[in-house]
């Protein structure tokens, strides 16, 4: 599995800005955020729950 690109923050301006240097400064935080974000997303979609249960039974 790959994460191609991560954008941090909101986009309040019309200049399509990107965070210069943020990726290095916040890299460990970003990794944690991606992980928790995806887990939350999976929880919302219900994708992981059923699959994990069936794997446990096997």
Binding site for other proteins (CB under 8 A): 1-25, 30, 33-34, 36-38, 40-42, 44-48, 51
Provide the minimum distance between the beta carbon of 57 and other proteins in the complex, in angstroms, as a whole number: 18
Closest Cα partner for 9 from 42, 24, 26, 44? 26
Three-class SS state of 2:
coil
Closest contact distance (angstroms) between CB of 28 and other proteins is 14
* CB of 31 vs other proteins, minimal distance in Å: 11
User: Rounded to an integer, what distance in angstroms lies between the CA atom of residue 29 and that of residue 36?
Assistant: 11
């Amino acid at each position: 599995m790959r994460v191609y690109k991560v954008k941090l923050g909101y986009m309040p301006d019309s200049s399509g800005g990107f965070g210069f240097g943020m990726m290095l400064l916040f890299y460990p935080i970003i990794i944690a955020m991606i992980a928790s974000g995806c887990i939350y997303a999976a929880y919302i979609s219900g994708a992981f729950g059923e699959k994990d249960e069936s794997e446990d039974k096997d």
